[in-house]
Structures are given as structure tokens and as C-alpha cells.
């Protein structure tokens, strides 16, 4: 089966990204044909700095590789390197109902956030994402729940195109992260962890002293009992979730191990687990930062491989639409 997924280049990866996406990708690349894309064209739909944009893209590629995405097993590339993404986006625009786009919750949220500069690119963002997916005849799209609506649109457009012009696209299936894999903010455990609030977010590249500070100052709950209870103890529940995901120990076992012990002991133990788990990623990243030529070659070769698939799809699309 063919897998496609992508992450915007802006911002460093945090442990929520790792658990919700990257960890899943590492498993998928062992059994399937995977394409992992740095979606730079999506990133420019909101304000960004063009002066350091190439550096940001390079840093994201380094993070992919440091986490274990293997260019021998997967295709890693930058979206804008493959021009067929934008061509297919325009063609899909012609069959996309305006009403479907106006119902997209992410557009509503971001248009409130960037009221003065909402452009057509942000409105059409889901069509570009549909093109990303359909271009590679994707079978499965592993994404977070916040992208579910966009993948559903891709499925809708694939069926609509096939009905209107004849069978062309595979209708992709959605793959959501496993239940319980949601990591919350360290400072407000009722909110999702977000890179926009660095103090409440644990980045994959954080040094041991930073990990220690963030975990030891993480918000906890009244009382001393270490139990998983999202309503009564959201802070401790979040720490137990992180501990379980990175130690691969069941939460029930952790509750037993820390019975009668204090929050401080739990936090100290969690710091050790995280420092040990993230050390290989930090070490690999430092090595890759010194190998810029190698990283760029990975992206160039990935784009060439991706383009072979993309060109094949677009040849069929143009024929079906009467453009050749």
C-alpha cells in the first residue's frame, strides 16, 4: 500500500508530533511504500519570513531524518519541488464546491486568527492538501484528528472526479493516531500541546536541562495520589500518558509503581525516561546539521522519485479532462 503524509516546515517538532505522527510513520515505512512531504506551499498561506524559509525547510528535513525516517525505505521531499502539486490543485479547484470549503473548521479558526490578511490560499488550503494526497494514488493518509475533515474532502473530490471524468484516482483511507496518544500542554493540561507556547511544550531537540526544567515545573493537581483521571487529575494524567508512551509501560503499571510516592518522584523518573528516549534524536540531529550536502541530496532524490509518480498521474488527469 502507498502512504502519504506531511508536516509544515514551520516550528520545531514536539513530543506530541512524534507520538501522533512520526512514530506512526516509522512503523509504516517498514511495511509500506511511504511518501513523507515537507509541505512548504501550505506554510505560506499564513504570515512567514521568506528570508529564512529555506533554512526552516532544511531544519525540518534534518528532524525527519534524525527521528528515523529512512530515505532508503521512504521518499522524503519538499512539496514545491514537485510542480504537479500546484497543477492538480488548480484542476481540482474546478470541481470543488465553495460550500464545502466554507465549512472547513480550520479555515474558520485561522481566518479569525489572521483577520486582516486572510487570502484565497488559506481558503483553498484543503484543495492543495487533496492534490497532495491524490497525486500519488495514496491508499492511506495518517494524520491527526484536526486534519480529518481535509482528508474527507480529498475522498469526496476523488469520487467526484472519477464520476465526472472516469476512474482516475484511488479513494484514500484515513488513519488516525491510536487512542490515548494525545499529549496535552505541560502548563495547561486541558489544552493540546502547542509549539506556539514553548514553555508548555517539550521539543524533540530540547537539551536534558531544558527537559528537566519543563517537567519539574509542569502543572499538577490537588492531592498526592498518582492516578490516571482526566477529570480530577488532568495534570498527572498527562504526565502518566507521556511516561507510558515513552517507556512503553501501561498506565496501570505506572500507577502501581508510584503508589504512595509523591509527584516529585514521578517527575524525576519521567525526566530520566525522556532524556534517555530523546538522546538518539538529539545526537543524530547534531550530526546531520553538519551534513547539509547529504540532506539536500536526500530531498533532491526524493523529489525525483515523487515526480515520477506525480507525472504519471497528471498524464492521466490531463487526458481525462481533455487537456491533451
110 is catalytic: yes
pLDDT of 178 above 70: no
The structure's pTM equals 0.86
pLDDT of 253 above 80: yes
Question: Cα separation of 87 and 252, whole Å?
Answer: 51
- H helices then E strands: how many in the chain? 15, 5
Question: Cα separation of 13 and 127, whole Å?
Answer: 25
195 is catalytic: yes
Higher-confidence residue of 149 and 303: namely 303
Residue 71 banded pLDDT, cuts 50, 70, 90: very high
Q: What is the pLDDT of residue 115?
A: 57
Q: Which of 110, 272, 284, 305 is catalytic?
A: 110
Higher-confidence residue of 225 and 100: namely 225
Question: Cα separation of 247 and 265, whole Å?
Answer: 16
Residue 114 banded pLDDT, cuts 50, 70, 90: low
Q: What is the pLDDT of residue 194?
A: 83
Q: What is the pLDDT of residue 4?
A: 97
Span 63-75, average pLDDT: 96
Coil, helix or strand for 71?
coil
Residue 51 banded pLDDT, cuts 50, 70, 90: very high
pLDDT digits (tens, 9 = 90+) for 196-250: 788 899 999 999 999 999 999 999 999 989 999 999 999 999 999 999 999 999 9
pLDDT digits (tens, 9 = 90+) for 131-172: 999 999 999 999 877 788 889 999 999 999 999 999 999 999
Q: Which of 12, 182, 195, 284 is catalytic?
A: 195
Q: What is the pLDDT of residue 179?
A: 53
CB-CB contact of 32 with 1 (8 Å): yes
- Alpha carbons within 13 A on the beta-carbon side of 96: 28
pLDDT of 276 above 90: yes
Copy the grid coordinates of residue 255: 500507577
Domains, the chain, ordered by start: 2-180+291-320 (3.40.50.620), 198-286 (1.10.240.10)
Q: Which of 182, 192, 272, 284 is catalytic?
A: 192
Amino acid at each position: 500500500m502507498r502512504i502519504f503524509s506531511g508536516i509544515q516546515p514551520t516550528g520545531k517538532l514536539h513530543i506530541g508530533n512524534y507520538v501522533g505522527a512520526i512514530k506512526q510513520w516509522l512503523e509504516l515505512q517498514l511495511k509500506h511504500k511511504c511518501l513523507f512531504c515537507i509541505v512548504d506551499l501550505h506554510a505560506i498561506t499564513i504570515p512567514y519570513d521568506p528570508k529564512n524559509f529555506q533554512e526552516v525547510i532544511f531544519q525540518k528535513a534534518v528532524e525527519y531524518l534524525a527521528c528515523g525516517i529512512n530515505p532508503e525505505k521512504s521518499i522524503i521531499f519538499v512539496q514545491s519541488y514537485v510542480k504537479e502539486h500546484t497543477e492538480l490543485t488548480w484542476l481540482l479547484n474546478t470541481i470543488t464546491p465553495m460550500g464545502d470549503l466554507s465549512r472547513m473548521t480550520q479555515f474558520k479558526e485561522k481566518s479569525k486568527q489572521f483577520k486582516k490578511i486572510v487570502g484565497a490560499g488559506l481558503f483553498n488550503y484543503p484543495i492543495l492538501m487533496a492534490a497532495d494526497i491524490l497525486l500519488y494514488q495514496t491508499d492511506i493518509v495518517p494524520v491527526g484528528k484536526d486534519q480529518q475533515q481535509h482528508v474527507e474532502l480529498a475522498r469526496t473530490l476523488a469520487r467526484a472526479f472519477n464520476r465526472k471524468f472516469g476512474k482516475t484516482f484511488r479513494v484514500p483511507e484515513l488513519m488516525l493516531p491510536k487512542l490515548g496518544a494525545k499529549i496535552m500542554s505541560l502548563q495547561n493540561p486541558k489544552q493540546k500541546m502547542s509549539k506556539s507556547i514553548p514553555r508548555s511544550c517539550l521539543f524533540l531537540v530540547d537539551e536534558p536541562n531544558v527537559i528537566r526544567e519543563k517537567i519539574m515545573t509542569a502543572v499538577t493537581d490537588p492531592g498526592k495520589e498518582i492516578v490516571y483521571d482526566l477529570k480530577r487529575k488532568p495534570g498527572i494524567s498527562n504526565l502518566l500518558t507521556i511516561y507510558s508512551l515513552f517507556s512503553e509501560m501501561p498506565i496501570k503499571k505506572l500507577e502501581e509503581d508510584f503508589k504512595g510516592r509523591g509527584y516529585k518522584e514521578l517527575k524525576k523518573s519521567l525526566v530520566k525516561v525522556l532524556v534517555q528516549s530523546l538522546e538518539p534524536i538529539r545526537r543524530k540531529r547534531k550530526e546531520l546539521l553538519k551534513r547539509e550536502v547529504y540532506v539536500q541530496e536526500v530531498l533532491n532524490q526524493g523529489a525525483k522519485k515523487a515526480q515520477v509518480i506525480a507525472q504519471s498521474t497528471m498524464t492521466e488527469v490531463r487526458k481525462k479532462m481533455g487537456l491533451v
